[in-house]
Amino acid sequence: MRLEGIIAAIPTPFHQDETPNLEALESNVKRWNETSLSGYTVLGTTGEFVSLTIDEKKRVLERAREAAPREKIFLAGTGAESTFETLALTRWAAELGADYAILVTPHYNRRGFSSQSLIEHYHRVAEASAIPIVVYHIPACTGLSLEPSTVARIAEHPNVAGIKDSSGDVLALQETKRLCPEEFAVLTGSASILLAAFTVGAQGAILADACAAWDEPAELLESLAAGDIERARAIQMRLARFSRDVVVGYGIPGVKALLDRMGFYGGPPRLPLLPLDSDAAEDVERALRALRAAS
């Protein structure tokens, strides 16, 4: 299954007592199945993977895999701080039937890391994994930036399928595309640079924004493919404002509040994240209305 198109980075729903709401997860995924989305990333940043136990991660992945049809790309977030734990969860995700494992860069002990240690981390997992792996680069959260030259070394392993680059750095993304093999998929994690990312060769995007706004990124990609640059630029401007007002402005609680307003189940985040108050929830709903009114 080719790693391309618009993929939603979906949240993990919780009950009010902060236990995972697997029924709501299943319901949400079944509704997203009816959209233009190419697939799902489960247990990414939006999925609050850092706040879940190993057992909870497994139950979330299992229920999401059951709800998602095989024609949708399914990426399982299996990254952890140690290569040992990452390997264990990646093997489990492969047995579950995930199409890809997406691995956030280890970072807690980053002062002791080198480029070579990160290359060996990804290669060790890739070598042992029955499914292809995807590098997840999100320096705003990890405090660690992967240079394009390091990504190119990681991409030398045939079981490393691509990268989700959430740095927002178009020049770095372009250099990654230049240095890596043609079959290595480069995807952006930032709706704010979607048009620029596609222009320099990205094959797709993995976006929290796409949980609520899935048609606009797909239409941007279609417009660009058809050579309609003006339409693509107009969509990009609307998406950038939407992303600023929801995902960048309010983060995971903003996405969840917006889903609640749309008739999905968003529910609360897990502490120490706090849910939005009513005024902020109105802000995110207003942002979605503005995006759609301009379409």
Averaged pLDDT, 214-224: 95
pLDDT at 294 over 80: no
pLDDT at 280 over 90: yes
pLDDT score for 139: 97
pLDDT score for 129: 98
Query: Mapped to the 3 state alphabet, what secondary structure does 7-51 carry?
Result: EEEECCCECCCCCECHHHHHHHHHHHCCCCCCEEEECCCCCCHHH
Whether this prediction's pTM lies above 0.85 is answered by yes
Is 263 exposed, middle or buried (CB count within 10 Å of its CB: 0-12, 13-18, 19+)?
Answer: exposed
pLDDT at 181 over 80: yes
Contact 174, 190 (CB under 8 A): no
Domains and CATH numbers, the chain: 5-226 (3.20.20.70)
pLDDT at 275 over 80: yes
pLDDT score for 1: 84
Averaged pLDDT, 85-91: 98
Is the peptide bond prior to 268 cis by the omega test (within 30 degrees of 0)?
Answer: no
Q: Which two tokens stand for residue 187?
A: 């995807």
pLDDT score for 295: 72
pLDDT at 102 over 80: yes
Averaged pLDDT, 72-93: 98
The catalytic residue positions are 164
pLDDT tier at 123, thresholds 50, 70, 90 = very high
pLDDT score for 192: 96
